[in-house]
């Protein structure tokens, strides 16, 4: 019972944090470019995790480092840059709906390459969650005319990488503590992220007022939305199934719309409310396999 309650708490907490991350990324992009945002996000998360968990590195067996590297690449490094580039050209709401393809990609990848066992109700839950997200976005604000949907491909690629990441962790790293996996991931990514910052010209603009203002939002994004959240997400994967853990991406659009309603004077119509309920019902069905 404790594990069941914990996984639901983790799911909704992560959905809330990552639902807020799109706003933080957009605010960060007002002071740095996309490449710098991705690198800074990794850098701040890495410094935080290594500071609190440096000793965890000794607990990673040598033969596991290849999986640590794969999960670092698929779960954080590449998606961080893909999202940063895409959000320069498309809205957070569009990004969140495309990101909700992650459970479907997790399911397909798990069936094809990892021999995961899936029940019919989980498949129904994945489909319902995605349909609920479609309702949220379709009946949302359609006044934006600045979309460039070619960049949506980047979010789709990121969702595939997330699907790979969840399956890798569940199959190969479930015996390691979540903090151990996270510290290992960001130890690998820290130097590449710093080099990207150096060669992108970040240190030439770091003293500018708009850059320093953006750094506040990126610091929160890196420490809370990436570093701390990664630990909790790995814990969620270990407590549940890959499909249930990846269904956190269905919560993200719901949170985004609630934030818009609460703080941005946006309105919610009956179709969006219905879409949010469909999302939650889909998440419930996707969780119904014991693990």
Res. 145 pLDDT band, cuts 50 70 90: very low
Of 98, 88, 85, 87, residue with least CA distance to 137: 98
Average pLDDT over residues 199-215: 95
The domain of 166 spans 2-121+144-246
Contact present, 234 and 52 (Cβ < 8 Å): no
Average pLDDT over residues 181-197: 96
Helices vs strands, H then E, count in the chain:
15, 0
Ranked by mean pLDDT, which of 120-124, 127-131, 134-138, 169-173 comes out on top? 169-173
pLDDT at 149: 63
Average pLDDT over residues 48-62: 96
Answer whether residue 210 is part of any domain.
yes
**pTM across the whole model:** 0.84
Answer whether residue 288 is part of any domain.
no
Res. 10 pLDDT band, cuts 50 70 90: very high
Q: How many domains does the chain have?
A: 1
Across the chain, mean pLDDT equals: 85
Answer whether residue 136 is part of any domain.
no
Q: Rounded to an integer, what is the distance from CA 38 to the centroid of its chain? A: 13
Answer whether residue 137 is part of any domain.
no
Answer whether residue 199 is part of any domain.
yes
DSSP H helices in 29-145? 34-53, 65-72, 78-86, 92-99, 102-113, 120-138
Answer whether residue 179 is part of any domain.
yes
Distance CA 107, CA 120 (A): 12
pLDDT at 94: 67
pLDDT at 273: 73
Ranked by mean pLDDT, which of 94-98, 125-129, 149-153, 199-203 comes out on top? 199-203
Answer whether residue 254 is part of any domain.
no
Average pLDDT over residues 195-216: 95
Answer whether residue 95 is part of any domain.
yes
């Amino acid at each position: 019972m404790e594990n069941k309650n914990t996984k639901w708490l983790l799911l909704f907490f992560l959905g809330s944090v990552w639902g807020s991350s799109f706003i933080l990324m957009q605010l960060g992009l007002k002071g740095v470019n996309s490449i710098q945002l991705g690198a800074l996000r990794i850098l701040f998360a890495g410094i935080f995790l290594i500071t609190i968990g440096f000793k965890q590195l000794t607990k990673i067996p040598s033969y596991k480092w290849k999986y640590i590297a794969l999960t670092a690449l698929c779960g954080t490094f590449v998606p961080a840059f893909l999202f940063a580039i895409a959000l320069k050209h498309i809205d957070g709401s569009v990004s969140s709906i495309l990101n909700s393809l992650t459970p479907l990609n997790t399911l397909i990848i798990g069936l094809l390459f990892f021999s995961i066992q899936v029940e019919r109700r989980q498949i129904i839950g994945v489909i319902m969650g995605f349909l609920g997200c479609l309702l949220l976005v379709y009946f949302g604000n359609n006044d934006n005319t600045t979309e460039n949907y070619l960049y949506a491909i980047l979010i789709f690629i990121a969702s595939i990488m997330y699907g790979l990441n969840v399956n890798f962790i569940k199959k190969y790293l479930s015996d390691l503590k979540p903090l151990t996996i996270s510290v290992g991931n960001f130890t690998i990514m820290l130097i590449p992220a710093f080099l990207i910052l150096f060669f992108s010209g970040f240190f030439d603009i770091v003293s500018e007022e708009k850059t320093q203002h953006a750094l506040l939002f990126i610091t929160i994004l890196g420490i809370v939305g990436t570093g701390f959240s990664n630990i909790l997400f790995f814990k969620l994967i270990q407590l549940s199934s890959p499909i249930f853990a990846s269904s956190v991406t269905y919560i993200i659009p719901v949170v985004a719309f609630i934030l818009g309603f609460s703080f941005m004077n946006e309105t919610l119509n009956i179709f969006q409310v219905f879409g949010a309920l469909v999302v939650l019902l889909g998440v419930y069905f996707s969780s119904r396999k014991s693990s």
